[in-house]
Amino acid sequence: MLDISRYLGLPPPASAHAHQIDFVIGLVHWLMLALFVGWSIYFIYVLYRFRASKNPIPNYRGTKGTLSKYQEIGVVLAEAILLAGFSIPLWGQLRHEIPTDANRIELRVVAEQFAWNVHYPGPDGVFGRTDINLVDLQTNPLGLDRNDPAARDDIVTVNEIHVPVNKLVLIHLSSRDVIHSFNLPNMRVKQDAIPGLSIPVWFRPIRTGDYDIACAQLCGLGHYRMRGHLIVESEEEFQAWLKEQAEMMQEYGF
């Protein structure tokens, strides 16, 4: 498929659905270009047709005709096709048709001023219990209860997400203070993190690399530094990283 992101000023696409997003954005740009060219030509024509030297006496009745009406109808139809024919179906697919891959990577991301807390369920695949009374900004930002058997193998990182390439990644997104916006530009993923809600976000990375995690919602004075890293790597590298993190947490007693 043609990569149009370079022509739209977008970062290189790195997820399976990114080209669909770019295609719709491209259609919007084509419509805006057509409007710009069309109205520019009309503007230049009006300047010439109704110049003062040829029309010394103003006519307050204006011009009469149906061309402008048909133009406006055409614009409305084009916008309706973009919305109903492309944007809404794609939005519905990405928001409601979450793939049910058995070997998907599932994790939690909890936003706070001004960091992204990442919670992996560990080898057992079960998220451990969390308790607000156990929250410690330095050693336990998520309030993970290590006395819970399901939590003993859980892995917690800050501002760093590791995922394997070509696997479905399902993120349960939430916030513990204000509204943030979880933005993965290369994955074409952007979703508000809202206190009190757990919102599923998914994507399938198709390229390895180190990508930005940004907050796209002004969330306070430190908003500018709320940045993280999404590291897409091979399955072997991902498993090695999980093992390293698990050993480190056992060593330091987290």
Cα 250 to Cα 122: distance, rounded to the nearest angstrom: 13
85 with 209, same domain: the answer is: no
pLDDT of 35-85, one tens digit each?
A: 899 889 888 988 888 888 888 887 777 667 677 778 888 888 988 998 888
133 with 218, same domain: the answer is: yes
Q: Domain count of the chain?
A: 2
36 with 155, same domain: the answer is: no
91 with 141, same domain: the answer is: no
130 with 239, same domain: the answer is: yes
126 with 220, same domain: the answer is: yes
- pLDDT computed for residue 230 by the predictor: 97
In this structure, the strands spanning 227-233 and 160-164 are: parallel
Domain that holds residue 217: 105-252
Higher pLDDT, 144 or 211: 211
The answer on pLDDT for 16 being more than 70 is yes
- pLDDT computed for residue 4 by the predictor: 66
Q: Among 79, 96, 113, identify where a domain stops.
A: 96
20 with 142, same domain: the answer is: no
Q: Among 76, 96, 116, identify where a domain stops.
A: 96
Q: What CATH number does the domain containing 185 carry?
A: 2.60.40.420
Which two three-digit tokens encode residue 19? 């080209």
113 with 89, same domain: the answer is: no
Flag whether the pTM goes above 0.85: no
120 with 15, same domain: the answer is: no
- pLDDT computed for residue 254 by the predictor: 57
pLDDT of 115-164, one tens digit each?
A: 999 999 988 888 888 888 888 877 888 888 888 888 888 889 999 999 99
Q: What CATH number does the domain containing 47 carry?
A: 1.10.287.90
141 with 211, same domain: the answer is: yes
Cα 112 to Cα 176: distance, rounded to the nearest angstrom: 6
Q: Among 62, 96, 130, identify where a domain stops.
A: 96
167 with 194, same domain: the answer is: yes
57 with 182, same domain: the answer is: no
